[in-house]
Structure 1
Amino acid sequence: MSENRSDALSLPATLPLLAILGIKECDSADWPRLRALQYARVAQHTRFRLGAHFACAAISCWISLQHLAWLTVLGWAIGLALTLSIFTSQDWLLRKADGRTLSQREAFRHASGSALVAIAWAAQPVLHWLYGTPTSMLQAWLIVMVVTLGSSLALAAAPLGAIIYIATTSMTAIVVFGLAGQYPPAVAALLYMLVILWGVYQRAEAFLRQSAAEAGMNERNEVVSLLLREFEENEADWLWQIDTQRKVRSVSPRFAFALGLEPGEADGMPFLQLIAGDAWKTGQFPTSLHDLAERLKRKESFSNLLVKVSIDGVTRWWELSGTPMLDEEGKYVGYRGVGSDVTEQRESSEKIAYLARYDTLTELPNRLMVNESLGEAMKYAKQWRSRCAFMMIDLDRFKAVNDSLGHQTGDELLAEVSGRLKSILSENEMCGRLGGDEFAIVIRDVKDRDYVDTVARRVIEHLSQPYEVNHHMLYVGASVGSAIAPRDGRSVEELMRNADLALYRAKDLGGGEHFQYEPSLHKSAEERRQLEFSLRMALDRQEFELAYQPVVDANDETIISFEALLRWNSAEHGFVSPAKFIPLAEDTRLIVPIGSWVLEQACIEAANWPDPVKVNVNVSPEQLVEPDFVATVVRALSTSGLPANRLELEVTESIFVRDALVAGKALKEVMHLGCQVALDDFGTGYSSLGYLRQLSFSTIKVDRMFVQGAAQGSKESLAIIRAVVAMADSLDMTTTAEGVESFEEAELIRELGCTKIQGYYFGRPMVKAEARKLFDVPGRLRA
């Protein structure tokens, strides 16, 4: 960079006048820096110029008081003092300009200050012409001429201000003498101006060239000094020298330290023997030492040659540069060069290269290396007209382990998984970690379609075996999606995308499955993408509405509450099943704003119902982990005016897997408000009595599959319902049986002891107007 700056300060052979004045810039030089050098020199003479001005001003005032009124003289002196203060302040700002660049605007501002001072001095001859005598006018001009000469010398480094000053004072004198009829002084003033202007121009050009040369030299000296200082302070560098027999000579302390010897011990020893170690006896030299020996033999210069050496039995890496030495007659007398120990840098580079391609947790190839390996496999398959495959693996239920036992346990589990994967793969497969709990396998040669399925089944079987981590017995499975090249993709990106689509379908099948890519998956993915796009705009388009299904007392069939059920009538897709768009909303976290809307609208509608009819609102686990969930509930209650005891939130057991601590805390705060919480779908998922102990649920809802099973005489379903009812009664909880569709089922539920019933038999989900009609008849609260 310094070299470029020095080149930028070089000047052309001929300098235009406008360039010297700073009005025009040439492309061949760095004029902002040159301009800064000019004006920095001007600022050095500020005090001298200021003193000279005051001295001449004092003399001028003494002469003027003999011919002019004292008020006129005082006014002129004050004007001069003001202009000098302005000019001096501008000089003060330029005192350190040589360390920076200077714009044309700053130069013109300085020249304007010079012009103000010149106008003040030019007023002297004018005043004497108007109010004095010809003699006093000549005396005033002589003083101005002295000031002009001094200023031209002081401002010559920055000629624009000097020329303006000289031209202003001289032209004023020429005009005044001409109007007074004193032509000889006018001609003398003209000649005087021309001579001084020529001198200023010559002096300015000389100063400019001298300053550019000095600045360039100083910068080059600084660069040389910096390089020498860096070399002297860098303890990893040393100078080395060998003679014609390749024996080291003039061993420096640093070179001896690098060799692990004293300077006297190393002097005269063969260079290659000192750095070869045990290889000197066996003759098994590293390739880099062979390369060094060949260069020394051919007497050729080399630079930054990386050599593997052995010092005291320890392998090191040296970077050597060397040049043959010749005597006055041109005869070869040895080598001289510089060297440095770059072992740490090389090890660091190797570590960086490893980290760039391997995952530190599992020690498996990372995504980058997996991509490269897949690219090589596809290239090989294309060359030999064979097939390769790519498999994506996703662990089932890993998130539950991570959330419940912490990331450290999760990381140890991932390390166990990687060990199992490496143990079951052959040389034909390469396994890597893509990130998180996603792994991948590249199969280089696929003999048949069943081969991929065989590998996938082996992976699922081994990864589904129990793990013992930190005294915990953990169970996770695996889902696998695969794609075969070139049939399913002709590029790395295409093949990976299609394998990912197959994995997504395997997860949809419930996990623990292998699914091979099919072209129809693209259509499903596109439908999902379009559905997600429409879902993101559904709230703004007001496409959602709520339906309400009554929940009745099991004994007298009076309406106890309504469950608010979300419905979506999309402009693009028509009516979309909740079973289709609710999971999508949860995956994309759109369920959070949608759930807030549902909660608010349900509370507003419930406020129109007679007391004590409640409204039941389903809450997603994604909503519960939001920091402002409780505030959302409070906002819905306050907006609607609904009492808190008439709002019952329904949650599923999955909240305890998502984030039990956060979800439990949020539900407890909601209960403190007076709201009730129901546990929905109990017995269908991650059922545990510990959940019922953690929170005081108001209601346990029995899933419709048990109700239907009991109606069909299933002993298991009957036993489960009786157990749930008994447990709920002992815990002071109510029970709601879902999916009751006939009189027989309702009677059975009553016999089993359920508190409340919900189902088509008592009412299908209905719009809010239909729900209100159930309350139109006074005293009618029956379905």
Structure 2
Amino acid sequence: MENLGLDLTPGRSLSSQALARATLLGCSGLLLALFLFTGVLLVYIALDQNLAAEQHNRLEIEQALQTLKSHARTTVKDYAQWGDAYQHLHLGVDPDWAYTRQNFGPALYRELGFDGVFVIGPADRTAYALVAGRLASVDARDWFGEALQPWLAQARQATKGKVFSRYHTIDGTPALVLSSVLSPGDDPQVRADGGPQSVLLFVVSLDPSRLLVLSREAGVEQLQLLAPGATSPQPTLSLPDGAGTLHWQPTRPGHQLLVLVVPLLLLAGVLVGLMAILLLRRSAQAARVIDDQVQALRSSRGALEASEARFRDVAEAASDWIWEVDPQLRFTYLSERFEAVTGLCRESALGRPMHELLNAEQGSLRNWLGASERRSQSILQCAYLDGQRRPRVCRLSVRAMAGGGYRGTASDITEEVAARRRIEYLSQHDALTGLANRMRMREYLEDRLSALRVLQEPLLMLSVDLDRFKPVNDTLGHAAGDQVLHEVSQRLSHCLRGEDLVARVGGDEFVLVVPGQMAQPEIDGLCRRLIQRIEEPFYVAEHEVFISASIGVARAPADARQAEELLRFADMALYEAKAAGRSTWRFYAADMNARIIERRGLERDLRQAIDQDQLSLQFLPRYRLGDGHWLGAEVLVRWQHPRRGLLGPEVFMPIAEDTGLILPLSNWVLHAACRVAQGWPEPLQLAVSLSACEFQRGQMVARIRSVLGQSGLAPSRLVLEVSDKALLDDGRQVQDIMDGLKVLGVQLLLDDFGSGCSALQHLRTYPLDGLKIDSSLVAGLGRSPAGRSIVQAIVDLGHALNLKVLAEGVETPEQFAALRDMRCDEVQGRYLSPPLDRDAMLQLAVQARRADRSST
């Protein structure tokens, strides 16, 4: 025993045993003190966690209430500064606009969560009320009592756009009440009347259902209203303005900590105590048996080292379940977690080859396991069927064993793989329609446009843009627009083959990629089918919706071999299709780029021209055909371009319509022309042409009212010429606008009749005062009897409907005489007078006045 450094003499042995006993008792005392300190510290930590959790719950509830208030304030501010709301709920209450068209209707309750909406008029009366999304005849005082009057005074004394919020109890239920004055905001088309202001009141009730939503947002349980005068052992939160008190069931993480740790701590203390007693008893025998223990240690060293190696390997590759296979790759060991994770029987799997259970996604399992011997650790993804025959995915980690065979772990990653695949799908597809998105389209194009493939298989690209889609969103809402887009995507897909690609690259923009050789007639037929399919009616929210499409076509490799160039060329062709009148298609041509650059330059210059007074007016006189009496003039706008010279409206008006400049341009023309016409002797009339775009963008009646008010021109002297294109869109909207214009007292004339797609029903449906025969029909009067018959039929039709008939573009005395024989009412054209500037018009007015005086 000397070589082990042990002295086993009797005296020494007793001294060693006493020292061991004293050491064990001291260690036991220290452990007991440590356990007591740990228990006290654990209780303190538990209480502190409970308090921190309660404070966190309170902050989350306050944050949820603040978020509710912030969202509600933003919504109220938007509605309070909406010019349309000011016009239809302050200047006059229009329930049809507000409720029936859902501009101020059920969506405020259904989608935004406002339980009550009130509009308090200038006389402090409830002019409009919604309760739970339904139109109601309710007085706001029934809800708010005496508190209402101070709120109205506060809102009207505040600055424009200020929103006030407070809490108020309504029938025992606290509610968030927001108020703000109704104003036209920044809308230049709506003018404030200068009188007392109407006040909006929006109410969000904190009823049990609302509190349930708030509790979910705050992450707390059982958020409820505490009854008045009651107390609660649970934490509470008082609402501002004395509206009530909330209480909830707080989380108790400290209790959970105690439940989990204290039993373990007690168990550890009991085990340590038992071990101390056992060691104390056996200390006396330690000296006698130490030699036997050393020998046993030497004999078991080999088994211990093998056990340690297994433990180390498993610890390094720890995962869900552990496996071992022999050199023939048959399972020799599976941990108990195997059955819990896979649902398969462990006993039946033992002895089976590995490949019968697992299917490697990277080749043969044997090759992979063999290659793993050259690496410290290898990982492989495998597929298998669980106990219910459902496909699953696991990740294997492996190490080679010294005696042959392999061991490792397997982790189930089915949900991880599914989530990754879902993310990959969403990154390449449009969430609304399920079509490929721009990223997927580019990958598809780059693959198809590879140098070798594009030479073997040409490719066709169609850039499709929807026409008349914006009114769908404006009139029926974005939900209806989304439904139309989804249906359009299906119609486009049905027109193509399975290997073709349909992608949505913008709001109402689609790209179709069609590989393969196609002749010109086949491409035309495809474009025609696409447009016809889209022009079929859509049935959305009990409405029949009609839209169309324009298509730009580019081909590879004829036009381009790069994806970016092909997309750009298809967009250029689409631009040309829209400029050609929409509902058509155009092929890319090399000169399109130059025209687009020129058009963009004109667009930029036109924006400056409106601001820098580069526009001028001319007036084309209009005469009564029966006696040659001068009736007035039509205004013509000209653009004195600094480099191109004088430009007519046929050059820049289409640009203004496409770019949204038509509204500022039309406003300038209306104001300038009406100021000039105000100086003409009465009852000379001023005729102004309106674009179809102006009807689509609203506020037409308010604009004309503002122009007449600022210029002082009598409404009966203003004639508005309406293009037949304006009558093709939302008929109800156009009808309302034209009825509003007639209420103002202006006259309405249908422009260019006979040149487009004017329907005869328009003449009896809309409140028209007359129609203008297009100049192309007037020019054909002397060419053929058929042309004369058409004009005669138009004149007779207008007279039969009690409409005055005006002919434009009279260039020759023969045309003038023919129109007089047909009993046309009014004429204009260069034969009678060329366009005149402002001064020439004043001279003509003076001459006409002298002629009238001399005739009387």
Counterpart of 1:736 in 2: which secondary structure? strand
Equivalent in 339, 361, 368 of residue 287 of structure 1: 361
Q: What TM-score does the superposition give when structure 1 sets the normalisation length?
A: 0.59
Name the structure 2 match of 1:258: 341
Displacement of 1:455 in angstroms is: 4.4
Matched, 1:316 2:401: no
Amino acid at match of 2:819: I
Matched, 1:547 2:630: no
Equivalent in 491, 500, 503 of residue 416 of structure 1: 491
Matched, 1:747 2:804: no
| Structure 2 Cα separation of the partners of residues 544 and 355 of structure 1 | 51
Name the structure 1 match of 2:834: 764
Residue correspondences, number: 522
Pair 1:339–1:646, CA change in 2 (3 A): same
Pair 1:511–1:459, CA change in 2 (3 A): farther
Unaligned runs of 5+ in 1: 1-224, 226-236
Once the two structures are superposed, what CA deviation does each residue of 1:489-516 show, in whole Å capped at 9, x if it has no partner?
4532223222332343355455677654
Name the structure 1 match of 2:58: none
Once the two structures are superposed, what CA deviation does each residue of 1:173-211 show, in whole Å capped at 9, x if it has no partner?
xxxxxxxxxxxxxxxxxxxxxxxxxxxxxxxxxxxxxxx
Displacement of 1:611 in angstroms is: 1.0
Amino acid at match of 2:725: S
Matched, 1:457 2:524: yes
Counterpart of 1:547 in 2: which secondary structure? strand
1:85-100 matches, cutoff 5 A: none
Matched, 1:680 2:751: yes
Amino acid at match of 2:780: G
Displacement of 1:623 in angstroms is: 2.1
Pair 1:657–1:271, CA change in 2 (3 A): farther
Name the structure 2 match of 1:58: none
Once the two structures are superposed, what CA deviation does each residue of 1:685-709 show, in whole Å capped at 9, x if it has no partner?
2312333344211221111122223
1:187-206 matches, cutoff 5 A: none
Contact 1:259 1:311 in 2 (8 A): yes
| Structure 2 Cα separation of the partners of residues 563 and 621 of structure 1 | 18
Name the structure 2 match of 1:340: 412
| Structure 2 Cα separation of the partners of residues 611 and 633 of structure 1 | 20
Matched, 1:242 2:316: no
Amino acid at match of 2:812: S
Displacement of 1:564 in angstroms is: 0.8
Equivalent in 802, 805, 810 of residue 735 of structure 1: 805
Name the structure 2 match of 1:94: none
Pair 1:289–1:617, CA change in 2 (3 A): same
Pair 1:271–1:416, CA change in 2 (3 A): farther
Unaligned runs of 5+ in 2: 1-260, 262-317
Matched, 1:571 2:642: yes
Name the structure 2 match of 1:270: 349
| Structure 2 Cα separation of the partners of residues 665 and 374 of structure 1 | 48
| Structure 1 Cα separation of the partners of residues 821 and 351 of structure 2 | 99
Q: What TM-score does the superposition give when structure 2 sets the normalisation length?
A: 0.54
Once the two structures are superposed, what CA deviation does each residue of 1:331-351 show, in whole Å capped at 9, x if it has no partner?
7897454623433x4334333
| Structure 2 Cα separation of the partners of residues 402 and 632 of structure 1 | 23
1:132-147 matches, cutoff 5 A: none
Contact 1:394 1:480 in 2 (8 A): yes
Matched, 1:482 2:554: yes
| Structure 1 Cα separation of the partners of residues 639 and 332 of structure 2 | 89
Contact 2:484 2:538 in 1 (8 A): yes
Once the two structures are superposed, what CA deviation does each residue of 1:605-639 show, in whole Å capped at 9, x if it has no partner?
11001111111111112223334433322221122
Pair 1:508–1:670, CA change in 2 (3 A): closer
Once the two structures are superposed, what CA deviation does each residue of 1:145-188 show, in whole Å capped at 9, x if it has no partner?
xxxxxxxxxxxxxxxxxxxxxxxxxxxxxxxxxxxxxxxxxxxx
Counterpart of 1:369 in 2: which secondary structure? helix
Name the structure 1 match of 2:671: 600
Equivalent in 554, 566, 582 of residue 495 of structure 1: 566
1:3-14 matches, cutoff 5 A: none
1:418-457 matches, cutoff 5 A: 418-422=493-497, 432-435=503-506, 438-442=509-513, 451=518, 453-457=520-524
Pair 1:726–1:573, CA change in 2 (3 A): same
Matched, 1:665 2:736: yes
Larger CA Rg, structure 1 vs 2: 1
| Structure 2 Cα separation of the partners of residues 535 and 273 of structure 1 | 82
Pair 1:545–1:421, CA change in 2 (3 A): same
Pair 1:510–1:609, CA change in 2 (3 A): closer
Displacement of 1:481 in angstroms is: 2.5
Displacement of 1:593 in angstroms is: 0.5
1:70-81 matches, cutoff 5 A: none
| Structure 2 Cα separation of the partners of residues 659 and 325 of structure 1 | 76
State which drifts further: 763-772 or 361-370.
361-370
Once the two structures are superposed, what CA deviation does each residue of 1:735-755 show, in whole Å capped at 9, x if it has no partner?
211112223322322332322
Pair 1:477–1:540, CA change in 2 (3 A): closer
Contact 2:382 2:396 in 1 (8 A): no
Name the structure 1 match of 2:723: 652
Pair 1:672–1:384, CA change in 2 (3 A): closer
Pair 1:676–1:273, CA change in 2 (3 A): farther
Pair 1:545–1:260, CA change in 2 (3 A): same
Counterpart of 2:619 in 1: which secondary structure? strand
Pair 1:610–1:620, CA change in 2 (3 A): same
In angstroms, what is the RMSD of aligned CA positions?
A: 4.0
State which drifts further: 302-311 or 523-532.
302-311
Matched, 1:620 2:669: no
1:43-442 matches, cutoff 5 A: 239-244=320-325, 246-247=331-332, 249-252=334-337, 256-260=339-343, 266-270=345-349, 285-287=359-361, 290-291=364-365, 294-295=368-369, 298=372, 305-312=380-387, 314-320=389-395, 322=397, 324=399, 335=407, 337=409, 339-343=411-415, 345-359=416-430, 364-381=435-452, 388-394=458-464, 399=469, 407=481, 408-409=483-484, 411-422=486-497, 432-435=503-506, 438-442=509-513
Displacement of 1:658 in angstroms is: 3.9
Contact 1:430 1:442 in 2 (8 A): yes
Displacement of 1:584 in angstroms is: 0.7
Contact 1:737 1:758 in 2 (8 A): yes
| Structure 2 Cα separation of the partners of residues 354 and 314 of structure 1 | 26
Amino acid at match of 1:412: E
Displacement of 1:476 in angstroms is: 5.6
| Structure 2 Cα separation of the partners of residues 638 and 512 of structure 1 | 40
| Structure 1 Cα separation of the partners of residues 829 and 460 of structure 2 | 48
Contact 2:570 2:588 in 1 (8 A): yes
Counterpart of 2:529 in 1: which secondary structure? helix
| Structure 1 Cα separation of the partners of residues 547 and 676 of structure 2 | 45
Pair 1:459–1:333, CA change in 2 (3 A): closer
Displacement of 1:684 in angstroms is: 2.2
Once the two structures are superposed, what CA deviation does each residue of 1:283-329 show, in whole Å capped at 9, x if it has no partner?
x9453584499449957775774322211454433343546598xxx
Pair 1:570–1:729, CA change in 2 (3 A): same
Counterpart of 1:533 in 2: which secondary structure? helix
Displacement of 1:412 in angstroms is: 2.5
